[in-house]
Amino acid sequence: MQLCIPRVDTSYNRDYIFTTLCKLRWGRVNKINESPSRDDKNYKCVLINISWDNNENSDLKERLERGDYINIIHDSNTPYFWRILKSTRRR
């Protein structure tokens, strides 16, 4: 499944994003692609290719499949979060 975080501050690098996603234990993160935001050069869009674990977090996977989103607080020292949703981009 391909996931999208449409707005990530450019100060967060690929390793930080990868580590944060691995801590969620949703499955195997296969690939991370970053592209600059069209609207604001201080942000980027992140696409994540993930292979889900079959049993764990199936409720979260179902929510994403339905088109819902999940907010992840990636840094407990800030009030900011990432909104993660299923990507609608074609591969």
Identify the residue whose tokens are 């990530």: 8
CA–CA separation, 73 vs 12, rounded Å?
A: 14
Whole-angstrom distance, CA of residue 56 vs CA of residue 91:
26
Give 17's DSSP letter. H
CA–CA gap between residue 61 and residue 68 (Å, rounded): 10
Average pLDDT of the chain to the nearest whole number: 92
Q: Are 53 and 27 in contact (CB under 8 A)?
A: yes
The amino acid at residue 14 is: R
| Prediction pTM value | 0.89
Residue 65 has pLDDT above 90, yes or no: yes
According to the model, what pLDDT value does residue 90 have? 63
User: How large is the average pLDDT for residues 61-83?
Assistant: 93
Task: Work out the average pLDDT over 39-51.
Answer: 95
Mean pLDDT on 33-62:
90
pLDDT-above-90 percentage for the chain: 76
**Cα separations (Å) of 26 from 11, 37, 40, 43, 66?**
24, 26, 30, 25, 17
Residue 51 has pLDDT above 70, yes or no: yes
